[in-house]
Structure 1
Amino acid sequence: MAAAAPRSLLYRDIDPADALRLARGAIGHLDDGELFLQHSQAESLAFDDGRLKTADYSVDRGFGLRGVSGTTTAYAHASSIDAPAIQRATETMRLLDPSGSTPAAAPRRSNRHLYTDADPLSAVPFETKVRLLGEIDAAARARDPRVRQVSASLLGSWSVVEVVRADGFVATDVRPLVRLNIGIVVEQNGRRETGSFGTGGRMLYDRLLDPETWNRGIDQALAQALVNLDTVPAPAGERTVLLGPGWPGILLHEAIGHGLEGDFNRKGTSAFSGRIGDRVAAPGVTVVDDGSLEGRRGSLSIDDEGTPTEETVLIRDGVLVGYMQDRLNARLMGVKPTGNGRRQSYAHAPMPRMTNTFMTGGKDDPAELLARMGDGIYAKSFGGGQVDIVSGKFTFTCTEAYRVEGGKIGAPIKGATLIGDGPSVLTQVMGIGNDPALDEGVGTCGKGGQSVPAGVGQPTLLIGGLTVGGTA
């Protein structure tokens, strides 16, 4: 359980026993459901054009009451946590038909803690955060005379949540989250280009304040911007593509990950529906979702239904072996929940979502993969992307990419877009590097109008036959 002080923030206006009593009366006769309580604090500081541009701080608290009967969900929420508000919310639960309902078993209990309970916002004085951003700005401008603009921001949040079930199950989690972003604009001969860096996770600000961290961030953002000054138009057509390790796993997240979430597969709307036991990827491809990694951005000690997170193997050696499940879809599909029931806040009902989704490493030397590919595209970093869950078709824009000629990295390219579809892209894997890496801790995943922090990762990956949309 979380420390007493954070938990007390949820019970300023109601006694825990009364919260349990109200939950029991509202949803105790249904298949499933919970009373979800949340107190959150968030801040963002942005330094731009040599001065502090914004400094925001907010506090939010409230509850969400959910009842589930069969495939039907009723949900009510309010931005206060008190008995009258919860009592009013119970009226919504009466819209459900409880006939035939058999209350589902509670999640298994866990005392595991994947991150600190401490509040990162109050641990560092405001002046220290502003001074850090100023130092980053000055250091970045001093790196190279071509630097024209620097932006730096710190974002932090601290959330206390509690899941209260009608069967008496209560689980509490205290969740820190921090992030540092650096953006640099350079100019040369009238041409301007940008580079960026971000890092963070479920931790305090300590690592972000470390000069080694933010100086590395400046170096990476500047290097990307300077590389982009020399870009040539990207070639178009079908190409062999080498994906770098770490953040390029965002392609895996979008093109494959969403299609392996339980709700899409229960409803038969995913390209992977009904394919458990089928080969869906090349031999050697293993894809995992793991919300139990310590301190990672996408990690949770428990999910937003109270289920402990775990390592869930989705594809093993090219064969589809499982989906990511929340409680509702797991019950309807006759499998166990995997700790993937997530929500943006108390104002949202949970749904199956990814946590940290990545491909495990292989046996190939990345340098050998580069030499083997001959001619093609090396995609080191991605920007935005889109995917259609039903078909699995995706498009991704490269923010740093290079032509490869004769197995050697050549000129950087601009305007490259990777186009393909999830069900076939993993069957075209020609080599898997021995250098698996997770991203720096900046991912945010959107689904159904909700955004949650997420992690991605992969080793260097050689893929044959991807369509490249370019400008040449």
Structure 2
Amino acid sequence: MTVHIPPPPLLETAGVDPDEALSILQGALHGADDGELFLERSESESLVFDDGRLKSAAYDATEGFGLRVVAGETAGYAHANEISAAALRRAAESAALAKSGHAGAAAEGPRATNQKLYDAVDPLAFPAFSDKIALLQEIDAWARARDPRVVQVSASIVGERRAIEILRADALKVQDVRPLVRLNVSITVEKDGRRETMSNGAGGRAGFETWVAPERWQAQVDEALRGALVNLEAVDCPAGEMDVVLAAGWPGVLLHEAIGHGFEGDFHRKGSSVFTGMMGKRVAAPGVTIVDDGSIAGRRGSLSVDDEGTPTSRTVLIEDGIMVGLMNDRLSARQLGQRATGNGRRQSFAHQPMPRMTNTFMEGGKDKQADMIASTRRGLYAANFGGGQVDITNGKFVFQCTEAYLIEDGKITAPVRGATLIGDGATALTNVTMIGDDFAFDPGVGVCGKAGQGVPVGIGQPSLKIGGLTVGGTAV
């Protein structure tokens, strides 16, 4: 059962006359270059079943607005968790200080669109609360019965529904209802006093129907269990420079972090990206094509419109190794003389929008993963990643592998623990030697952080072979 709820008129629901709100906004933006009123009502629910019991159940509801006035490169921003005419007036007075002494011309607004990438469903309404608890109990029992070495299971289910409304000075009003769900399973196994844990998650912009189907969550359990059992047998990873084969799908997080941020327009506007000034030049090996696309139906990083009201789109960043594009919000697009690409995103009404990735991925090639392995004398096969650290200004990264194997004489051999990948995004791009024909997206679990804001994102890639990466290890 899917519960469809149309976008609510947030101003009217809060008892604010839309004409009065428009008048306040127009006064604040008079003489400014850009700006908008962003309203939001968000509801979220999370349940965690851990150690054989319901450990936590949380419900959160917030609403509020943010009013932005942009003058040149300066932005005034005021927000409040009270939607009222009085709060709007106070916010307008504060934000309008940004245009002091500025005489600008209002930028043309975003184009209208009927693009709908997901239904206006309410994940909190179905399944019922009691059914969600029963599902988590079933997952726990089923996972423990799969293998006697299972000693701990943690399962969680998270649903969110965000309704947003954007009002511009030209009276354009954009509404969107954004569902988001995720089901996660974590399994700990033990053998001879050694414990290993592996997680598996999945989700997207829809109701829970797909993810609560038994065949779906059972596959998640089996994958988490498989990874944990593999790591029980893992040996310490040797260190050194070697060729690395990355699996398809989630390992694209390495490219997302080490490369993706360097193609966000604000870093180019400020001249702080390692790729600044490289437009039209070769920045990657031939065959490497990287795209950001927020217009893919149902994906975790997708949006019908971004948080400035611009329709999302497919933006090619690198084409056959040549830098050809950037991800822009409206401010960066205007300053750089480019188009807004639908990448203006914000964590909530309390945050200003900035250029952010949506679904960022490398397109597939023609090589077989088996050939990548066979052509590697000594290397590492990185099947899965955990956390990592990246310096956006130079692209240097350190990523931890949660599942990895040695490659010896063209064959995958022992699983290893403690493996880290060390390098920089620009060099890694140019050292791609083989691109697989097995493109895959991640299962729908990505969250990207930037300047203190977190937003859901999608990641994808085919299998890749990268030469000369530094592998950090724990072997003595």
TM-score in terms of structure 2 length: 0.97
Equivalent residue letter for 1:72:
T
Number of positions where the alignment pairs a residue of Structure 1 with one of Structure 2:
471
How far apart are 1:22 and its partner, in Å?
1.6
Q: Is the 8 A contact 2:31 2:103 kept in 1?
A: no
Superposition pairs for residues 153-302 of structure 1, below 5 Å? 153-302=156-305
Report the secondary structure of 2:375's partner residue: helix
Equivalent residue letter for 2:348:
S
Report the secondary structure of 1:283's partner residue: coil
Please name the residue that 1:317 is paired with. 320
- CA shift in 2, pair 1:10/1:235, >3 Å: farther
Instruction: Output the CA distance in 2 between the equivalents of 1:380 and 1:15.
Output: 55
Please name the residue that 2:410 is paired with. 407
Please name the residue that 2:68 is paired with. 66
Instruction: Output the CA distance in 2 between the equivalents of 1:461 and 1:343.
Output: 32
Instruction: Output the CA distance in 2 between the equivalents of 1:7 and 1:134.
Output: 38
Please name the residue that 2:149 is paired with. 146
Please name the residue that 2:427 is paired with. 424
Please name the residue that 2:131 is paired with. 128
For 1:246-265, what per-residue CA distance to the aligned partner results, in whole angstroms no more than 9, with x for missing partners? Answer: 00000010000001100001
Instruction: Output the CA distance in 2 between the equivalents of 1:296 and 1:447.
Output: 20
- CA shift in 2, pair 1:119/1:366, >3 Å: same
Instruction: Output the CA distance in 1 between the equivalents of 2:227 and 2:438.
Output: 21
For 1:355-404, what per-residue CA distance to the aligned partner results, in whole angstroms no more than 9, with x for missing partners? Answer: 00000000111111111122200000000011101111000000000001
Q: Is the 8 A contact 1:264 1:270 kept in 2?
A: yes
Q: 1:448 aligns with which of 446, 451, 468?
A: 451
Equivalent residue letter for 1:409:
I
How far apart are 1:24 and its partner, in Å?
1.1
Where in structure 2 are there 5+ consecutive unaligned residues? none
How far apart are 1:10 and its partner, in Å?
6.4
Q: Is the 8 A contact 2:446 2:459 kept in 1?
A: yes
1:470 aligns with 2:473: yes
Instruction: Output the CA distance in 2 between the equivalents of 1:56 and 1:39.
Output: 17
1:337 aligns with 2:348: no
Q: Is the 8 A contact 1:30 1:98 kept in 2?
A: no
Instruction: Output the CA distance in 2 between the equivalents of 1:107 and 1:35.
Output: 14
Q: Is the 8 A contact 1:373 1:462 kept in 2?
A: no
Report the secondary structure of 2:471's partner residue: strand
1:363 aligns with 2:380: no
How far apart are 1:5 and its partner, in Å?
5.4
Q: Is the 8 A contact 2:235 2:416 kept in 1?
A: yes
How far apart are 1:8 and its partner, in Å?
4.8
Equivalent residue letter for 1:393:
K
Please name the residue that 1:76 is paired with. 78
Equivalent residue letter for 1:450:
Q
Report the secondary structure of 2:77's partner residue: strand
Instruction: Output the CA distance in 2 between the equivalents of 1:316 and 1:200.
Output: 29
Equivalent residue letter for 1:368:
D
For 1:87-118, what per-residue CA distance to the aligned partner results, in whole angstroms no more than 9, with x for missing partners? Answer: 11011123122533111000000011100101
Instruction: Output the CA distance in 2 between the equivalents of 1:9 and 1:139.
Output: 47
- CA shift in 2, pair 1:9/1:85, >3 Å: closer
Equivalent residue letter for 2:81:
S
Instruction: Output the CA distance in 2 between the equivalents of 1:46 and 1:98.
Output: 53
Q: Output the aligned Cα RMSD.
A: 1.2
Instruction: Output the CA distance in 1 between the equivalents of 2:261 and 2:384.
Output: 20
Instruction: Output the CA distance in 2 between the equivalents of 1:95 and 1:278.
Output: 41
For 1:214-239, what per-residue CA distance to the aligned partner results, in whole angstroms no more than 9, with x for missing partners? Answer: 00000000000000000000010101
Instruction: Output the CA distance in 1 between the equivalents of 2:363 and 2:7.
Output: 39
Superposition pairs for residues 28-107 of structure 1, below 5 Å? 28-96=30-98, 97=100, 99-107=102-110
Report the secondary structure of 1:77's partner residue: strand
How far apart are 1:282 and its partner, in Å?
0.2
Report the secondary structure of 1:248's partner residue: helix
Instruction: Output the CA distance in 1 between the equivalents of 2:251 and 2:30.
Output: 45
Report the secondary structure of 2:291's partner residue: strand
Q: Is the 8 A contact 2:10 2:165 kept in 1?
A: no
Where in structure 1 are there 5+ consecutive unaligned residues? none
1:459 aligns with 2:462: yes
Q: Is the 8 A contact 1:46 1:53 kept in 2?
A: yes
1:116 aligns with 2:156: no
TM-score in terms of structure 1 length: 0.98
Identity fraction in percent? 60
Out of 371-380 and 296-305, give the one that drifted further. Answer: 371-380
Equivalent residue letter for 1:37:
L
How far apart are 1:21 and its partner, in Å?
1.8
How far apart are 1:300 and its partner, in Å?
0.2
